[in-house]
Amino acid sequence: MSKYATGKHSKAISDRSGLQFPYREMVKEWNGSFVHYTEYEPKQPQLEPKPVGGDGVALLQVRPDRTEPATTVRIVDNGFETYAAGSGIINVFSPGHGLTDSTTYRFRGPPTTSAGSSFTYANPQSFDGITGTNIAKAAGYTIRTGKYKADSDGSGTPGRDARSAYLTDNFFFFTVDTNTATTGSIKGGGYGCSIGPVTIEAW
């Protein structure tokens, strides 16, 4: 079996520079070139890119999004205001109420507990000939966003004023059953009142 000489006294010509170097200092590159170790260039990694998998999309711990039940919207203290004497129209001030025009909602007074410690709502306070029991009618009232004014659109006739986002976003009005205002332009209802769906779901 033949064997190769160590080449400790031999010289070699570099395939890159054409210079002469000691044979034992020569190395072979990935492309077969025989070069001096100082001239060695490794293979460019971009010549053999590694496959990259797609980014993960699915989460490991997932839960379906829940649909939150409709909740009540707070009305400012004494936020009810009668429109005029002999009228059942009541304007309500509730900043950023987010309510939908021409939709039926139910009014509620401050939350309280009965003698049996069960949670319930009291009625709004009566004012200007309007009873709190009537305001908190179980069937609710259909509201209109905006404010009911004597000069609703500049024509001099009363009606719904919804000419600005400020009015529709912060005011709404309804017509209470049976009762009419005694004086008009009187604020009342007390504190802790709210408006919300006719039926409130338990969380």
**133-182 per-position pLDDT tens digit:** 999 999 999 999 999 998 877 777 889 999 999 999 999 999 999 999 99
Residue 115: what pLDDT?
60
Query: Is 4 inside any structural domain?
Result: no
Checking if the pLDDT of 106 tops 70, the result is yes
Residue 151: what pLDDT?
84
Domain match, 81 and 29 both: no
Residue 152: what pLDDT?
79
Task: Indicate the average pLDDT of the chain.
Answer: 90
Domain match, 32 and 91 both: no
Query: Is 51 inside any structural domain?
Result: no
Residue 138: what pLDDT?
94
Query: Is 79 inside any structural domain?
Result: yes
Domain match, 29 and 118 both: no
Domain match, 162 and 82 both: yes
Torsion of CA 135, 142, 88, 124, to 10 degrees: 20
Residue 116: what pLDDT?
62
Domain match, 184 and 113 both: yes
Residue 156: what pLDDT?
75
The total of structural domains in the chain comes to: 2
Convert the pLDDT of each residue in 71-87 to its tens digit: 899 999 999 999 999 99
Phi, psi of 49, rounded to the nearest 5 degrees? -65, 140
Which region among 50-54, 91-95, 114-118 has the lowest average model confidence (pLDDT)? 114-118
Query: Is 50 inside any structural domain?
Result: no
Q: What confidence tier does 190 reach under pLDDT thresholds 50, 70, 90?
A: very high
Query: Is 49 inside any structural domain?
Result: no
Checking if the pLDDT of 109 tops 70, the result is yes
Convert the pLDDT of each residue in 26-66 to its tens digit: 999 999 999 999 999 999 888 888 888 888 888 888 888 88
Across the range 175-200, mean pLDDT stands at: 94
* Domain encompassing residue 186: 73-196
Domain match, 35 and 89 both: no
Q: What is the rounded distance in angstroms from the CA atom of residue 154 to the CA atom of residue 174?
A: 21
Of 190, 188, 194, nearest to 99 by C-alpha is: 194
Domain match, 37 and 86 both: no
Domain match, 104 and 25 both: no
Domain match, 102 and 147 both: yes
Domain match, 109 and 192 both: yes
42: left (phi over 0), alpha (psi -120 to 50) or beta: beta
Q: What is the rounded distance in angstroms from the CA atom of residue 48 to the CA atom of residue 25?
A: 28
Query: Is 102 inside any structural domain?
Result: yes
Query: Is 66 inside any structural domain?
Result: no
Residue 93, both tokens? 């001030």
